[in-house]
Chain A
Amino acid sequence: MTAIERRAFVQGAGLGALAFTIGGAEVMLTPRQARAERVPLRTLTAQEGAALDAIGETLVPGARDAGISNFVDQQISIAPEDALLQARILNVHPPFANFYRGALGAVDGASMKAKDRTFAALSPEEQHDLVGRMRVNKLDGWQGPPAPLVFAVLRSDAVDVVYATMEGYAALGIPYMPHIEPTRKW
């Protein structure tokens, strides 16, 4: 068997399909597809989802359309041992929903204190400034998980949906070269 045969070259796939619920039925979609289909969030509130979209886009351009809020929402709605989040590698203790709720609430809280608006309502320049101060733990009124940890976890989620997918590799001009392609559910 040749090397080329043992590789599973595929075209245009994404993160891999995850199980989303639409109208009570389970469907397999990529996070980008879930966003395009307006799949409702299961665990995050609409405000939390909006905050996550805005923070994700600030951290990694393209994260919003790549479906960061659908990705995180789906992942914190399943058993922790099945989750694909970088949070597990960074020793965040499950349930992961607690961390994300605390983190997103802290971001909006800091935004309200500084600008009297939620993070999603800030201008891109204001969002960039606030995230920069979150990274170095210089935000007044921060109440939640450590700000640098929130920065690291949310940045990683945004990197995941934009760059760690097969589409992301293609955008950077890198051949993905999977042995086993990430297009199916484990």
Chain B
Amino acid sequence: VANEKVDLVVVGSGASGSVYAYALAKAGRKVVVLDNGPDRPLGDLISSDIWGRRLKPAGGAILLGGKNPFAYANQGAYAVGGAALHYFAQFPRYLPTDFKMKSEHNRGHDWPISYEDLAPFYDRVAADVGVSGDAKAEEKWRPPGKAYPMPPMKTFPAGEVWLKGAEATGIHLVPMANGMNSQAFKGRAACLYDGWCHVGCPIGALANPLVTYLGEARKAGVEVRGLSNVTRVLTNQAGTRAVGVEYYDANKERQVQEASVVVLAAWSAQNPRILLNSATGKHPNGLANSNKLVGKFMMTHHIAGTWALFDKDITPHMGTVGAQFMSYDRYAKTSYPSAFGSSFITAGTSHKTNDYSLARADLFGRELAVFMKRAARGLTHLTIFGEELPNIENRVELVSEKDEYGMPMARLTHSFDADAVALWNANFDQGVKIGRATDAKEVWPGKGPIMPTSHLHGGAIMGTDSSSSVTNSYGQTHEVPNLWMAGPCIFPTEGASNPTYTIFATALRGAEHLAEHWESVAL
């Protein structure tokens, strides 16, 4: 079935896709957004860890491999709004050093842009979606910028108990920048601090796409089609232009959506899968892949978590799932003598009963029952995210098995290298040191046989040289000028802090560039 041609088709409706839809609709373009997940109203965001699992993929078509398989289902999404529907909405920025890894350390890649190029877009996003935080306090580590539109979120004992330990060990904690409302903002409610952020915030206090960019895009006339599985980008006979996408609708019927410009914003694993499956005689390796870099340099963060148990009631269930405090004091890439890479410290997230059980995943039976009662009063957590360097062996590639639409599945192969393992271990030492300097009764590292992974980046990295990257700094592919990539797939290095604020900012920069140069891109 062929649909009426539109100006822009966006594949994916999460943090990056929603920004493109918003910016181009605002510029007067006719936009259609396709997402493989259902389009749920806010009232479907049930406050329950059990029911919240419906926002995530079930099985899916991304197979996992390597020594350290990525936690794909936990991080992915099955809903319009993408993973930003269930994210923690922690909004730290990248720091200037993240953009200059190669120049400063002769490792990894440089970004084709600097912090200064992105800084105005961080400020714009904050004003658009609402960020609560203390920008002045962050300027200990980053260049000055605009104040956030709202003061920091409230703090609770489960976060405050970390302050003593951090201070004693030379770690300066400041309020976390959160994409949440510490007060009413643009007609959206203030946060209630009930700690259900991660299963979707139905009151609009958390800046998910449904109540920010995608909501605005819809008001501007953008059509969002849920349960639409895109399988290929279609090109003209010469292979020089994208002409639209092929997808399967909710009835599993094949559809074609023609468009003047195509934006792939379907996250770092699915974007390469679509490009690779779009191979033609003119693009035998897949679209935008003559240098065979599509699907390469996949990166994730490793997590070193420290648990602490207090013998007083610190209300672990209260607050936000986004942490209360953060620190960049171990962000310098050479912070530890034994390891290389940035680390980002967060403290004091709200926890629910499933979290308590995972704090001691070894316990069962009566011992678990006893622990659950103690945890309900006194459990808290400090998280240190660690950076992984880009490695070409960490990759997405098509496999012979096919999904229900006949599209080849993909395998995401991921292994941490020795640098990452060393940094992970150093971060455990750091976390336990902080914990032991608090008043906690018990402190232990959350270290099991599996290195936990969080966030996914790479797969279509940006750069200045078409031989060593897939897109330019705006996300425009080097080979097909009206095919753009959006989201963390274009990040050439990953830093250590949560990426979504930077995803919003890079998407806004790319989308506004596309809008300004529409005539030359769309032809």
Q: Which residues of A contact B (CB under 8 A)?
A: 1, 3, 6-7, 15-16, 58-61, 80-86, 88-94, 128, 131-132, 135, 148, 151-152, 155-156, 159-160, 163-165, 168-169, 172-182, 186
Is B203 part of the binding interface, using a Cβ–Cβ cutoff of 8 Å?
A: yes
Known: A16-B51, A178-B48, A182-B47. A135 touches B362 (CB 8 A): yes
The residue that A155 contacts in the complex, of B47, B50, B356, B357, with Cβ under 8 A, is B357
How far is B449's CA from A61's CA once the two chains are assembled, in angstroms? 26
Most buried by A among B43, B46, B50, B78: B50
Number of residues of chain B lying within 8 A (CB) of chain A: 48
Q: B368 touching A60 by the CB < 8 A rule?
A: yes
Q: What residues of chain B have their CB less than 8 Å away from a CB belonging to chain A?
A: 43-51, 53-54, 56-59, 64, 69, 71-74, 78, 189, 192, 194-196, 201-203, 317, 352-354, 356-357, 361-362, 364-366, 368-369, 372-373, 376-377, 449
B206 to chain A, nearest CB (A): 11
Are A182 and B51 interface neighbours, CB within 8 A?
yes
Contacts of B195 in A (CB 8 A): 177
A169 in contact with B51 (CB, 8 Å)? no
Asked if B354 and A6 make an inter-chain contact with CB atoms under 8 angstroms apart, the answer reads no
Choice from A15, A82, A91, A94 contacting B50 with Cβ under 8 Å? A15
Instruction: Beyond the given A60-B369, A169-B353, A186-B54, please list 15 additional residue pairs across the A-B interface where CB-CB is below 8 A.
Output: A58-B365, A61-B366, A81-B58, A88-B56, A88-B73, A89-B53, A89-B73, A92-B59, A160-B49, A163-B357, A172-B376, A173-B376, A178-B47, A180-B47, A182-B50
Find out whether the CB atom of B376 lies under 8 angstroms from the CB atom of A174.
Answer: yes
CB–CB B365/A59 < 8 A: yes
Do B59 and A93 have beta carbons less than 8 Å apart? yes
CB <8 Å contact, B50 and A172: no
27 contacts between A and B (CB under 8 A): A3-B192, A7-B192, A15-B50, A61-B365, A61-B369, A81-B54, A81-B58, A84-B50, A88-B56, A88-B59, A88-B73, A89-B73, A91-B72, A132-B364, A135-B362, A155-B357, A155-B364, A163-B356, A163-B357, A163-B372, A164-B48, A164-B49, A164-B353, A177-B192, A178-B46, A179-B202, A179-B203
Chain B residues near A89: list those with CB within 8 A.
53, 56, 73-74
The residue on B at minimum CB distance from A137 is B449
Most chain A CB within a 10 A radius of its CB, from B72, B194, B362? B194
Using A91-B64, A163-B372, A182-B51 as known contacts, say yes or no to A6 and B364 having CB atoms under 8 A apart. Answer: no
* Cα distance A83–B71 in the bound complex, in angstroms: 18
Q: Which residue of A lies closest to B45 (CB)?
A: A180
**A91 and B58 alpha carbons, distance in the complex (Å):** 8
* Chain B contacts for A182, CB-based, 8 A: 46-48, 50-51
What CA separation (Å) do A83 and B59 show in the bound complex? Answer: 11
Chain B residues positioned under 8 Å from A60 (CB to CB): 364-365, 368-369
Closest 3 CB pairs of A and B: A178-B47, A182-B48, A163-B353
CB contacts (< 8 Å) of B373 on chain A: these are: 172
User: A85 — which chain B residues lie within 8 A by C-beta?
Assistant: 53
Please report the C-alpha to C-alpha distance between residue A85 and residue B354 in the assembled complex, in whole angstroms: 12
Report if A177-B194 is in contact (Cβ < 8 Å); known contacts: A16-B46, A83-B58, A159-B353.
Answer: yes
